[in-house]
């Protein structure tokens, strides 16, 4: 089964749909109590999440049908838009702080987190840049390899750092390192850049008191359980109370004002409480299959841009899931980044869906995939249109 041409396509599509369905269900469960207290309706956040999903799914579908040259044409404009939007976050009156980081732009009732589409912008721009350099044979020395990729990625990282968003900084640096790895950067250069990244992250932690408190709390989890370690401790309690099969959907107790940010950063804890160990293993399995499919696409396609973009997007989603889940199970410090496709938030959901649509488009370019799609015949939408007399007529 795994050697079939469309394996990657169906894995990406199937895992995405199942994680989306799970996410919508768990956003309702995790947010219902708090929203009922604050707004009088238990459905406030799930309705917003459904609206974001309704906007994101057509964009995912459009991305899955976009040719490679379309993604390459969008690369530089998306990078410029990301830089401009991240700069607006730092403007007094526009940027809004939450959880120690300034991540949001307030536009009336609408709030946007520009650092999320910046991840997609870096993937596309970095892949396009390195693909052009590879075609020109300019990747044999470190200077043409890093210029202007390093300054461009550095500018995005700097703008995110100025907003004190360490979690997104880590993801952007991961995308940068993944692009270097896939393009075949010399081991000495890769190790040196990775060392600089580790040094930068260490400096970011040391210079910000609340990050140091989170780190020291992570290293000594037995103390400060009512202050710095409160969220992590409550997350572990939720996971532990779920047992093997969980308390049942909607029956969790952690969301009753015990666990902060249950619908965003710690939604995995609610999954563990209500679906137990079995539920958490299913989520891990879905992300594992999604990562496998993305790496399979990157390995099997022949076009350099497609290979780089697929690897960069896969690294982004996989590392973000690892960091989020690692924080919930207390093997990593809490950084405040969402679980892809599952956590509440449109700013994160829509770029993620576009990236998955891009992976679907690339999966169609694997060897034998086009022939398999053609042999499959018309899809259900085409058949429905033909029944209504609206489909394409035969010759």
In sequence order, what are the beta bridge partners of 111? Answer: 106
The pLDDT-based confidence of 316 (bands split at 50, 70, 90) is very high
Q: What is the mean pLDDT of residues 5-17?
A: 89
Nearest to 335 by CA among 314, 321, 315: 321
Instruction: Please report the DSSP string for 339-364 in residue order.
Output: PTTTSS-HHHHHHHHHHHHHHHHHHT
How far CA 283 is from CA of 1, 84, 181, 336, in Å, comes to: 22, 35, 27, 19
How far apart (Å, rounded) are the C-alpha atoms in residues 45 and 30? 10
The pLDDT-based confidence of 228 (bands split at 50, 70, 90) is low
Strand (E) or helix (H) holding 98: strand 95-98
Q: What is the mean pLDDT of residues 76-80?
A: 92
Domain residue extents for the chain: 7-371
Instruction: Report pTM.
Output: 0.88
Higher pLDDT, 235 or 379: 235
Q: Which strands sit side by side in the sheet containing 110-112, from one edge to the other? A: 95-98, 101-107, 110-112
Number of alpha carbons in the 13 Å side-chain half-sphere of residue 50: 8
Q: Which residues contact 288 (CB under 8 A, 6 or more apart)?
A: none
Nearest to 310 by CA among 148, 156, 127: 127
């Amino acid at each position: 089964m795994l050697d079939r041409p469309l394996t990657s396509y169906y894995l990406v599509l199937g895992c995405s749909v199942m994680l989306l369905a799970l996410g919508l269900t768990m956003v309702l469960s995790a947010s219902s109590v708090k929203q009922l207290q604050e707004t009088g309706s238990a459905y406030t956040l799930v309705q917003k999440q459904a609206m974001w999903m309704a906007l994101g799914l057509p964009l995912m579908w459009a991305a899955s049908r976009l040719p490679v040259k379309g993604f390459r044409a969008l690369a530089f404009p998306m990078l410029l838009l990301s830089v401009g939007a991240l700069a607006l976050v730092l403007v007094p009156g526009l940027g809004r702080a939450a959880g120690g980081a300034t991540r949001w732009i307030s536009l009336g009732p609408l709030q946007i987190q520009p650092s999320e589409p910046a991840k997609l912008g870096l993937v596309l721009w970095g892949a396009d840049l390195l693909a052009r350099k590879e075609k020109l044979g300019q990747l044999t020395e470190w200077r043409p390899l890093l210029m202007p990729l390093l300054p461009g990625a550095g500018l995005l990282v700097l703008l995110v750092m100025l907003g004190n968003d360490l979690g997104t900084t880590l993801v952007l640096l991961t995308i940068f390192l993944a692009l270097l790895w896939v393009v075949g950067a010399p081991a000495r250069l890769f190790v040196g850049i990775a060392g600089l990244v580790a040094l930068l992250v260490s400096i970011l932690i040391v210079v910000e008191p609340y990050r140091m408190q989170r780190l020291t709390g992570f290293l000594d989890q037995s103390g400060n359980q009512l202050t710095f370690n409160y969220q992590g401790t409550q997350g572990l309690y939720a996971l532990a109370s779920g047992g093997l099969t969980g308390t049942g959907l909607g029956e969790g107790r952690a969301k009753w004002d015990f666990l902060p940010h249950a619908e965003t950063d710690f939604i995995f804890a609610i999954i563990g409480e209500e679906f137990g160990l079995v539920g958490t293993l299913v989520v891990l399995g879905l992300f594992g299959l999604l990562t496998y499919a993305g790496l399979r696409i990157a390995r099997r396609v022949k076009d350099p841009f497609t290979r780089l973009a697929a690897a960069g997007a896969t690294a982004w989603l996989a590392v973000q899931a690892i960091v989020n889940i690692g924080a919930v199970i207390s093997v990593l410090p809490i950084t405040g980044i969402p679980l892809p496709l599952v956590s509440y938030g449109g700013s994160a959901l829509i770029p993620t869906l576009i990236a998955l649509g891009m992976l679907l488009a690339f999966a169609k370019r694997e060897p034998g995939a086009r022939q398999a799609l053609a042999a499959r015949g018309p899809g259900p939408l085409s058949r429905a249109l033909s029944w209504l007399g609206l489909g394409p007529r035969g010759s």
